[in-house]
Amino acid sequence: MRIATWNVNGIRARLDYVRLWLEERQPDVLGIQELKTTDEQFPFEELREVGYEAITWGQKAWNGVAVLTREPATLRQAGLPTQDGHGARLLAVETGDLCFATVYCPNGKSVDHPDFPAKLAWFDSLLEFVASFYDPGGSVVLCGDFNVVPAPLDSWNEAALSGGIFHTVAERQRIEALLNWGFVDLFRSKNPDVPGYTWWDYRGGAFHRKHGLRIDFVLGTRRVAERTRFVHADRDWRKKVEGLTPSDHCPVYADLD
């Protein structure tokens, strides 16, 4: 079974690119972030043509999350309780034997911006939701764009960026709290020494200069981690493919028994 996450930076702008990736990589379940479209404008039929049904929680121009599945899925939760003001950023479903949730966590802008403490509060609400909604002994996946660099290895320049947005102690403590609840960072568990960047700025040749950050994760409970055999940050799909422009994020996928 292959599960995946991807911030597509606009599903309608990236639709042909996403379809190519789906046909090439054949995931069974994919969490998508940053749809930038409403549910009414989501390309359900175009994705159905390549074998996927979608459950969506969209938002005009900003945010938005979706889960694509090959097998039927059941909606469990749309939106993070108490955090409606941040927009469409969480979607939880059940598919097969998995409880699968995808999130698009707030950016925070900068440590001096009012959005930064709001970001931390959002993460606190996420932990409360997880703790009340799921059992750490079950098969639970939480994936998405977390907008946090969890450790120095995950940043192209920790020395210069430490203490800045994505690199603060407070943000890293929020990721650690999710791991303490019972999640495992599946990529890091299989790739302890590989940076595994998942985002590169469009500007300044960041991708080619390897100036990346690892901010997109697939987290799984211990039961999921025990089934995990391979996890990959799909860097090749941050490049142009057939003349199509990619997202500034690459997909991350995990193969489970």
Q: Under a CB-based contact definition with an 8 Å cutoff, are residues 68 and 47 in contact?
A: yes
Count how many residues are written for the chain: 257
| Counted domains in the chain | 1
Per-residue pLDDT band for 110 (boundaries 50, 70, 90) equals: very high
Res 121: pLDDT = 98
In whole angstroms, how far apart are CA 160 and each of 157, 163, 164, 208? 6, 9, 9, 19
Percent over 90 (pLDDT), the chain:
100
The overall average pLDDT reported for the chain is 98
Per the annotation, the verdict on 145 as an active-site residue is: yes
Per the annotation, the verdict on 104 as an active-site residue is: yes
Per-residue pLDDT band for 234 (boundaries 50, 70, 90) equals: very high
Residues spanned by the domain of 98: 2-256
Residue type, 134: Y
Mean pLDDT for 168-189 is: 98
Res 10: pLDDT = 98
User: Of the listed 145, 216, 248, 255, which one is catalytic?
Assistant: 145
Res 228: pLDDT = 98
Which of 229, 59, 58, 30 minimizes the C-alpha distance to 143? 30
- pLDDT tens digits, 113-127: 999 999 999 999 999
Which alpha helices (DSSP H) does the chain contain, by range?
15-25, 44-48, 115-133, 158-161, 169-181, 186-190, 222-227
Phi, psi (rounded to 5 degrees) for 99:
-90, 115
Give, as one character, the DSSP assignment of residue 245.
P
Please give the helix or strand (H or E) that residue 94 lies within, else none. Answer: strand 90-95
Res 251: pLDDT = 99
User: Of the listed 17, 28, 52, 104, which one is catalytic?
Assistant: 104
Burial of 229 (0-12, 13-18, 19+ CB in 10 A): exposed
Give the C-alpha separation, 173 to 176, whole Å.
Answer: 5
Phi, psi (rounded to 5 degrees) for 205:
65, 30
Res 246: pLDDT = 98
- pLDDT tens digits, 7-52: 999 999 999 999 999 999 999 999 999 999 999 999 999 999 999 9
Q: Helices 115-133 and 169-181 meet at what angle, rounded to 10?
A: 0
- Strand 65-69 and strand 73-78: pairing? unpaired
CATH number at residue 32: 3.60.10.10
- pLDDT tens digits, 48-70: 999 999 999 999 999 999 999 99
Which of 14, 12, 69 minimizes the C-alpha distance to 41? 12
Percent over 70 (pLDDT), the chain:
100
- pLDDT tens digits, 182-231: 999 999 999 999 999 999 999 999 999 999 999 999 999 999 999 999 99
In whole angstroms, how far apart are CA 134 and each of 3, 91, 142, 223? 19, 14, 11, 13
- pLDDT tens digits, 134-156: 999 999 999 999 999 999 999 99
